[in-house]
């Protein structure tokens, strides 16, 4: 039986603040050299699913450039499937996607081409390594209309998820989306495996429902349960994390520095594929002081620099006597002499000038600095502040940006 994977990758990701000001959430960098969507794409190819469609919407340019024709994932072959990126288009009965189910419904004429037996709906913003073949075998053995992957989460976090209840035969009896008082801690992972015919019918019914949010969790799953469709639960016990907030995004990467790490990036039988640029080897001066860091190609660490619990994307430069702790630094950023950077997420091509102090080890809040921004000499940015994209010297009216402040550029878009 044939399975086609559909990755939902159109989310705006507003909770990631300035990191998604110029890119879709699945295109945000992770673990130095990867993009978040690389993990879902790699799960597909490692599970021998080579027929993949990606539904994009919000600022898709960065993600589309990254994926290209799918070469790094061996998905650049049309005759066996390959990867296709679909974006909204203006037509008589279509417009911008208004929900996860609406995104699939608007593209269903493309999704069902070739008549796949199963449609595997995935999210492009989760970090995990999962062999989908096991879920497909389970789904087909149960003859389910829909199979939902689920896992147990801490009860204190359960209100963030759809919560399901199932019997000893894995039949889902009840489902509630993000309840304020969760009845259990069995959470929906946002991984759905449908029979094509069942998905076609429920999407068509939902499309004509005037009071629907057109969302899988809020509408599609409850509708299928109400109509008596066979909905099954597929329990999963491996590592999985939704990195949709700054805190979860930062925490998931810091956990990579644990011994052993929470997620194994180095498993020889489950490679995380990505598009890489040609970069020289990283250079680390003998008098630099480095502890528990991931450092990508092309980085340069000068004498006297101190790094601890950091993740550096390609081309990052840390100048002499700079201090960087508990931080995530994106591609081609520069941290100049005697600057101090603590618990900060720094986007691409950021420049931190001399003697700046960014964040604090005493302040638990995470500082964010947007893409292509500059922090001028001797400026202090307190923990929890957000610097937007393209901020330059003239945007600063003070040498102190306080915790909770959000500094944006004063320039008009055509001036950037």
Q: Any bridge partners for residue 51, and if so which?
A: 82
Q: What is the pLDDT of residue 94?
A: 52
Architecture field, domain 3-257: Alpha-Beta Complex (3.90)
Q: What is the pLDDT of residue 105?
A: 87
Q: What is the pLDDT of residue 207?
A: 86
* Higher-pLDDT residue of 415, 263: 263
Cα–Cα distance between 288 and 292 in angstroms, integer?
Answer: 13
DSSP letters along 140-194, please?
A: HHHT-SEEEEEEE--GGGGGGSEEEEE-TT-BEEEEEES-SS-S-SEEEEEEEEE
Burial pattern 291-302, b for ≥16 Cβ within 10 A else e, equals eebbbbbbbbbb
Q: What is the pLDDT of residue 57?
A: 86
What would the pLDDT profile of 317-354 be if each residue is shown by its tens digit?
Answer: 999 999 999 999 999 999 999 999 999 999 999 999 99
3-state secondary structure (DSSP) of residue 207: helix
Cα–Cα distance between 19 and 392 in angstroms, integer?
Answer: 17
Cα–Cα distance between 131 and 122 in angstroms, integer?
Answer: 13
Q: What is the pLDDT of residue 80?
A: 61
In the chain, domain spans:
3-257, 283-415
The residue-averaged pLDDT of 14-40 equals 95
Mean pLDDT in the chain? Answer: 93
Q: What is the pLDDT of residue 306?
A: 98
Q: What is the pLDDT of residue 89?
A: 62
What would the pLDDT profile of 221-230 be if each residue is shown by its tens digit?
Answer: 999 999 999 9
**Encoded tokens for 271:** 């490679």
Task: Calculate what percentage of the chain has a pLDDT beyond 90.
Answer: 83
Q: Where are any strands of DSSP class E within 196-319? A: 231-235, 240-242, 283-284, 289-291, 294-295, 300-301, 306-308, 311-312, 317-318
What would the pLDDT profile of 59-90 be if each residue is shown by its tens digit?
Answer: 889 999 999 999 999 898 765 679 999 887 65
Q: What is the pLDDT of residue 90?
A: 54
Q: Contact at 8 Å (CB) between 203 and 90?
A: no
Q: What angle do CA 159, 162, 164 make, to 5 degrees?
A: 110
Q: Is the dihedral of CA 358, 301, 246, 348 positive or negative?
A: positive
Distance of CA 372 to the CA centre of its chain: 21
CATH 2.160.10.10 for domain 283-415, yes or no, is yes
Q: What is the pLDDT of residue 233?
A: 98
Say which range, 305-309, 397-401, 410-414, has the weakest mean pLDDT: 410-414
Cα 280 to Cα 120, 277, 300, 316, 320, distances in angstroms: 39, 10, 10, 12, 20
Q: Contact at 8 Å (CB) between 85 and 66?
A: no
Residue 13 has pLDDT above 90, yes or no: no
**Encoded tokens for 323:** 């201090």
Q: What is the pLDDT of residue 79?
A: 57
* Higher-pLDDT residue of 106, 250: 250
**Encoded tokens for 92:** 């008589």
What would the pLDDT profile of 252-309 be if each residue is shown by its tens digit?
Answer: 999 999 988 999 999 999 999 999 888 999 999 999 999 999 999 999 999 999 999 9
Residue 95 has pLDDT above 70, yes or no: no
What would the pLDDT profile of 153-200 be if each residue is shown by its tens digit?
Answer: 999 999 999 999 999 999 999 999 999 999 999 999 999 999 999 999
Burial pattern 364-400, b for ≥16 Cβ within 10 A else e, equals ebbbbbbbbbbbbeebbbbbbbbbbbbbbeebbeeee
Q: What is the pLDDT of residue 414?
A: 66
The residue-averaged pLDDT of 237-244 equals 94
Distance of CA 276 to the CA centre of its chain: 18
Cα–Cα distance between 194 and 140 in angstroms, integer?
Answer: 10
State the burial class of residue 159 (Cβ atoms within 10 Å of its Cβ: 0-12, 13-18, 19+). Answer: middle
Cα–Cα distance between 218 and 176 in angstroms, integer?
Answer: 8
Residue 367 has pLDDT above 70, yes or no: yes
């Amino acid at each position: 039986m044939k399975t086609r994977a559909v990755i939902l990758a159109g989310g705006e990701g507003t909770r990631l603040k300035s990191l998604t000001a110029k890119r879709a959430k699945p295109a945000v960098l992770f673990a130095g050299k990867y993009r978040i969507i690389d993990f879902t794409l790699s799960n597909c190819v490692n599970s021998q699913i080579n027929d993949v469609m990606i539904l994009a919407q919000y600022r898709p340019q960065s993600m589309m450039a990254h994926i290209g024709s799918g070469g790094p994932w061996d998905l650049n072959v049309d005759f066996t499937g390959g990867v296709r990126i679909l974006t909204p288009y203006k037509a008589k009965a279509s417009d911008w996607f208004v929900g996860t189910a609406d995104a699939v419904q608007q593209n269903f004429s493309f999704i069902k081409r070739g008549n796949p037996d199963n449609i595997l709906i995935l999210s492009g913003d989760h970090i995990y390594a999962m062999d989908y073949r096991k879920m497909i075998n389970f789904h087909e053995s149960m003859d389910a209309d829909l199979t939902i992957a689920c896992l147990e989460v801490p009860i204190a976090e359960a209100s963030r998820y759809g919560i399901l209840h199932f019997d000893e035969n894995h039949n889902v009896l009840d489902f509630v989306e993000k309840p304020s008082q969760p009845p259990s801690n069995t959470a929906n992972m946002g991984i759905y495996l449908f029979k094509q015919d069942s998905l076609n019918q429920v999407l068509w019914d939902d499309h004509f429902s005037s009071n629907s949010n057109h969302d899988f969790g809020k509408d599609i799953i409850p509708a299928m349960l109400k109509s008596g469709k066979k909905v099954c639960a597929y329990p999963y016990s491996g590592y999985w994390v939704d990195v949709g907030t700054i805190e979860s995004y930062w925490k998931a990467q810091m956990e990579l520095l644990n011994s052993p790490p929470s997620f194994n990036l180095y498993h020889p039988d489950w490679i995380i594929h990505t598009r890489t640029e040609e970069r020289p080897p990283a250079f680390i001066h003998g008098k630099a002081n480095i502890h528990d860091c991931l450092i990508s190609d092309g980085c340069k660490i000068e004498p006297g620099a101190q790094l601890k619990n950091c993740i550096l994307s390609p081309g990052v430069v840390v100048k002499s006597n700079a201090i960087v702790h508990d931080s995530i630094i994106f591609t081609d950023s520069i941290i100049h002499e005697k600057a101090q950077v603590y618990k900060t997420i720094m986007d691409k091509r950021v420049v931190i000038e001399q003697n700046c102090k960014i964040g604090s080890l005493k302040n638990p809040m995470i500082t964010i600095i947007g893409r292509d921004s500059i922090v001028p000499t001797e400026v202090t940015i307190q923990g929890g502040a957000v610097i937007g994209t393209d901020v330059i010297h003239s945007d600063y009216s003070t040498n102190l940006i306080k915790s909770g402040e959000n500094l944006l550029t004063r320039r008009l878009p055509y001036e950037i």
